Chain A
Amino acid sequence: MSLLEVSGLGISFGGLRAVDGVGFTARPGEVTSIIGPNGAGKTTLFNLVSGVYIADAGAVRIAGREVTGLPPHRLARAGMARTFQNLRVFPQMTALENVMTGCHMAERAGLLAGLFGLPGSRAETARSREAAAAALTRTGLGALAGREAAALSYGQLKRLEIARALVTGCSILLLDEPAAGCNAVETREIDDLIHAIAGEGRTVVLIEHDMRLVMRISARILVLDQGRRIAEGAPEEIRENPRVIEAYLGAHGAAEARAAHA
């Protein structure tokens, strides 16, 4: 049974149909990947699913409940969390505080309790601090907890965003190019991390350019080109699909690849 169901989603920017009638489903405990050439509409699709953009067609359902058009903070409460392709960390906060912000939904103390520093508010902050520290350790950033986020490397910030999304307690996690700018060792670590996250029964949707990573950890793959879905299936099906090869290499390149293979 799929937890996240997306059907017929579309949006136009000016005259350009950036995403056109795209649908997919994602199941708990699995990694569903979205691939496609640059400009295929992958990140736009993420922005539609997570409520940053308002779709002009289609629907999004979480566990059968229609959530189309809900603002991002309501979707977060419905169990959706995400990371961003062009990093959206909080640079003026420490790494730990960044992740603590992910605990916002679990925090119940009101504004006045915060102003007067009441024991309930303090205890809650202490709990969030522990949860955040655990998430940092899990993503390999434990030693950097007190460091200002602005001082972290690109690869570390990518993982910081994952830690921040994880502590929300999300059931659906959208990861936008988590391995971009990472070296081979870091990519391997991200691979293991994503595997473990899915292993907890969370629904992971992944946008990634590193094909080896995608082929290794995905249960299903959705391929986009120019805003449209051109293929969907298991990794081995996608690898052999002529339309996919064509989209990536062009018609001419695909013919050459076939010739080289033969």
Chain B
Amino acid sequence: MTLGPGTRTFLVFAALVVLGALVFPSSFFYRVGTLVWINTLAVTGMVVLLGYVGLVSLGHAGFFAIGAYATALLPQYGVPSGLAMLAGAAGAALLAALIGRPILKLSGYYLAIATLGLGMLIWMVLSKEAWLTGGPDGMTVTGFSARNLLKSVGITLKTAEAWYWLCGAVATLGAVLAVNLGQSSAGRAFRAIHDSDVAAASLGVDVARAKSAAFVISAVYAAVAGALLALANGYITPDAGGFMHSVELVTMAVLGGAASVYGALVGALILTALPQVLTVFAEYEHMVLGAIMVGTMIAMRRGLVPALAGLLARRRAARRAGRLARRVS
């Protein structure tokens, strides 16, 4: 029996979540693991936007921050955290829909600059409106505990473990949805636009609408990831919406391979976990990271996952050809 792509993604992601829990020796590892899953979720949104449709956004940290700050702020006015998270996602979706139409007419680096401006704007508001957001110092986030949530369904875990499982589950769900989307009518239209928007339009695809839809979907991914980070960390600063974070999200997607959710996971894993490992090398940390990125882009332009998958496929084909040759001779 062959498994559908959605099912396969679910099994791979779920297995990795479980594997992490089996090998992690301490709460520190669980915290890093949680970050990996949160970043994977945000980068999965980039897979939809950048990998499927081929649009570059340098402002997605802005949507990430909207999700994070909605989850931080609304509970102070008596809104439950779950609802606040949804409100953040809805707010990000609304902003993406409003701003998407005019700026998605742009392409290539014009679009990159326009989204960069959008991200900067959001970051500026969060930094300057100190009465609301606490300014550059950030704010604490209270009102929700993953540990209590899991306890209410009869599972007792340490706080760090509870967040790991919760974020792993949401990232798995996000990956499955993105893979489903890629196999659907809308997904085929997205990937068609990536390769030729003129041809896509000639087949009846409303290109402007499709781009806008992908922008909204990726904004929701970023907002949910932001909300999870705010809750898991218990505090949030405007840097979550900063330019560097936007660049990180794009870099993770491109490093792993923007066209697949597995690429999102690998990119997020490397750029989240590696700095933790490299702290041993202290001042060389950024040099090593930079070298890895430059090397990947030179040797494997499509990203790590597609390059390795291609290598495997070629070796398998070579082995098959070898067997065939032996049988013939």
Q: For residue B214, which residue of chain A has the nearest CB?
A: A111
Pick from B181, B195, B203, B213 the residue with the most CB of A within 10 Å: B203
Q: Decide if B191 touches A107 in the complex (CB within 8 Å).
A: no
- Min CB–CB distance B12 → chain A (angstroms): 16
B203 lies within 8 A of A76 (CB)? yes
A117 adjacent to B198 (CB under 8 Å): no
Smallest CB gap from A167: residue in B: B203
B207–A73 contact, CB under 8 A?
Answer: yes
Q: A114-B181, A125-B185 are in contact. Are A90 and B202 (CB under 8 A)?
A: no
- Residues of B close to A125: CB separation below 8 A: 183-185
Whether A92 and B184, one on each chain, are in contact in the complex, defined by CB atoms closer than 8 angstroms, is no
B262 shortest CB reach to chain A, Å: 16
Separation of A102 and B202 alpha carbons in the complex (Å): 9
- CB nearest to B182 among chain A residues: A114
Asked if B199 and A84 sit within 8 Å, CB to CB, the answer is yes
Residue B196 at the chain A interface, CB threshold 8 Å: yes
Q: Which residue of B lies closest to A128 (CB)?
A: B185
Whole-angstrom CA separation of A110 from B210 in the bound complex: 11
Cβ < 8 Å to A, chain B residues 184-212: 184-189, 191-192, 194-196, 198-207
Indicate if A20 sits at the interface (CB-CB under 8 A). no
Q: Is A91 an interface residue (CB 8 A)?
A: yes
CB A106 to nearest CB in B, in angstroms, measures 9
Chain A CB count within 10 A is highest, among B177, B192, B205, B206, for B192
- Does B117 sit at the interface, judged by CB under 8 A? no
B52 to chain A, nearest CB (A): 10
- A101-B184 in contact given A72-B201, A90-B196, A92-B194 (Cβ < 8 Å): no
Q: Which of A73, A92, A100, A164 contacts B259 (CB 8 A)?
A: A92
User: A76-B203, A114-B185 are known contacts. Are A90 and B192 too (CB-CB below 8 A)?
Assistant: yes
B6 near A: Cβ within 8 Å? Answer: yes
Asked whether A177 is an interface residue with its Cβ less than 8 Å from the other chain, the reply is no
Return chain A residues, CB-CB under 8 Å to B140. Answer: none
Q: Is there an interface contact between A88 and B203, defined as CB atoms closer than 8 Å?
A: no
Interface residues of B in 201-255 (CB under 8 A from A): 201-207, 213, 217
Contacting pair A93 B191 (CB below 8 A): yes
Which positions 143-200 of chain B face chain A at CB distance < 8 Å? 176-177, 180-181, 183-189, 191-192, 194-196, 198-200
Asked whether A73 and B196 contact (CB < 8 A) given A109-B185, A114-B185, the answer is no
Q: Are A105 and B204 touching (Cβ within 8 A)?
A: yes
| Chain B residues in 8 Å Cβ range of A168 | 203-204
A30 to B184, CA, bound (A): 36
CB-defined contacts of B191 to chain A, threshold 8 Å? 90, 92-93, 97, 101
**Neighbour of B202 across the interface among A50, A115, A128, CB < 8 A:** A50
Closest B residue, CB atoms, query A47: B198
Asked if B195 and A93 sit within 8 Å, CB to CB, the answer is yes
Q: For A113, what are the chain B residues with a Cβ–Cβ distance below 8 Å?
A: 184
Query: CA of A53 to CA of B187 in the docked complex: distance in angstroms?
Result: 27
Q: Report whether A88 and B185 are in contact in the complex, using a CB–CB cutoff of 8 Å.
A: no
A73 touches B205 (CB 8 A): yes
- Residue A35 is within 8 A (CB to CB) of chain B in the complex: no
CA of A103 to CA of B189, assembled, Å: 10
Q: Which of A103-148 contact B (CB under 8 A)?
A: 103-105, 107, 109-111, 113-117, 121, 124-125, 128
Complex CA gap A109/B184 in Å reads: 9
A77 at the interface (CB under 8 A from B): yes
Q: CB within 8 A of B189: which of A101, A121, A164?
A: A101
Partner of A114, one of B176, B184, B203, B259: B184
- Shortest beta-carbon distance, B142 to chain A, in Å? 32
**A88-B198, A93-B192, A97-B188 known; A104+B203 contact, CB < 8 A:** yes
Q: Bound state CA distance, A82 and B4, in angstroms?
A: 33
Residue numbers in B under 8 Å from A128 (CB-CB): 185
Contact A89 B198 (CB under 8 A): no
In the assembled complex, which residues on chain A have CB atoms less than 8 Å from the CB atom of B200?
101
Contact residue among B6, B204, B213 (Cβ-Cβ distance under 8 Å from A111): B213
Q: B212 to nearest A CB, angstroms?
A: 11
A97: B residues at CB distance < 8 A: 188, 191
Contacting residue for B199 out of A71, A88, A105, A124, CB 8 A: A88
Contact (A73, B184) CB under 8 Å given A90-B196, A93-B192: no
When A76-B203, A102-B203, A116-B177 are in contact, do A52 and B185 touch as well, CB less than 8 Å? no
Set of chain A residues within 8 Å of B201, measured between Cβ atoms: 71-73, 76
How many Å from the CB of B312 to the closest CB on chain A? 16
Q: Does B202 contact A82, Cβ atoms closer than 8 Å?
A: yes
**Do residues B204 and A90 form an inter-chain contact, with CB atoms below 8 A?**
no
Closest residue to A90 on the B side, CB-wise? Answer: B195
A103 to B186 CA separation, bound complex (whole angstroms): 11
Chain B residues, Cβ within 8 Å of A73: 201-207
Greatest chain B CB density within 10 A among A52, A90, A107 is at A90
* Cβ of A98 to closest chain B Cβ, rounded Å: 8
Q: List 14 A-B contacts (CB under 8 A).
A: A72-B201, A72-B202, A73-B201, A76-B204, A92-B194, A92-B259, A101-B189, A101-B203, A109-B185, A114-B181, A114-B187, A125-B184, A168-B203, A168-B204
Per CB-CB distance, the 5 closest pairs between chain A and chain B, nearest first, are A114-B184, A76-B204, A117-B180, A107-B185, A88-B199
Given contacts A72-B201, A92-B194, A101-B200, 13 further A-B contacts (CB under 8 A): A50-B202, A71-B201, A88-B196, A88-B198, A89-B196, A90-B196, A114-B183, A114-B186, A115-B181, A116-B180, A164-B203, A168-B203, A168-B204
